[in-house]
Amino acid sequence: GAGVSQSPSNKVTEKGKDVELRCDPISGHTALYWYRQSLGQGLEFLIYFQGNSAPDKSGLPSDRFSAERTGGSVSTLTIQRTQQEDSAVYLCASSLGLGREETQYFGPGTRLLVL
């Protein structure tokens, strides 16, 4: 596609439910990142994937968070047993590679609200 797309754009769920957020990166981009942006906070790195390498999961806040990237393209971020503090905008970005001057292209985000 022309840009990074994410779905759903908005998600409201009840505390304790599981949610799945999807990211479609730009075609040909080997690197894919997930970030979380809470109200009034900077972007918080969660996880990134690069090609077939093992993902860097160092930013995942707890074991309730996991992510997959199938076929080196689409990625799914799963949050199990959601908590109210998980409410945030979840942003996905992709880049051609991991070079130090690579530009990350961001999707519009998924706004998650946990009631």
Partner 1 sequence: KNQVEQSPQSLIILEGKNCTLQCNYTVSPFSNLRWYKQDTGRGPVSLTIMTFSENTKSNGRYTATLDADTKQSSLHITASQLSDSASYICVVIRGSGTYKYIFGTGTRLKVLA
Residues within the interface to partner 1 (CB under 8 A): 4, 33, 35, 40-45, 56, 91, 93, 98, 100-101, 103-109
Distance between CA atoms of 2 and 9, rounded to whole angstroms? Answer: 17
> CB 81 → partner 1: shortest distance, Å?
27
Q: Give the DSSP letter string of 67-94.
A: EEEGGGS-EEEEE-S--GGG-EEEEEEE
> CB 103 → partner 1: shortest distance, Å?
5
Return the number of the residue (14 or 103) whose C-beta is nearest partner 1: 103
Residue 19's CB is within 10 A of a number of other CB atoms, namely 18
| Amino acid (1-letter code) at residue 46 | L
Return the number of the residue (20 or 56) whose C-beta is nearest partner 1: 56
Return the number of the residue (33 or 49) whose C-beta is nearest partner 1: 33
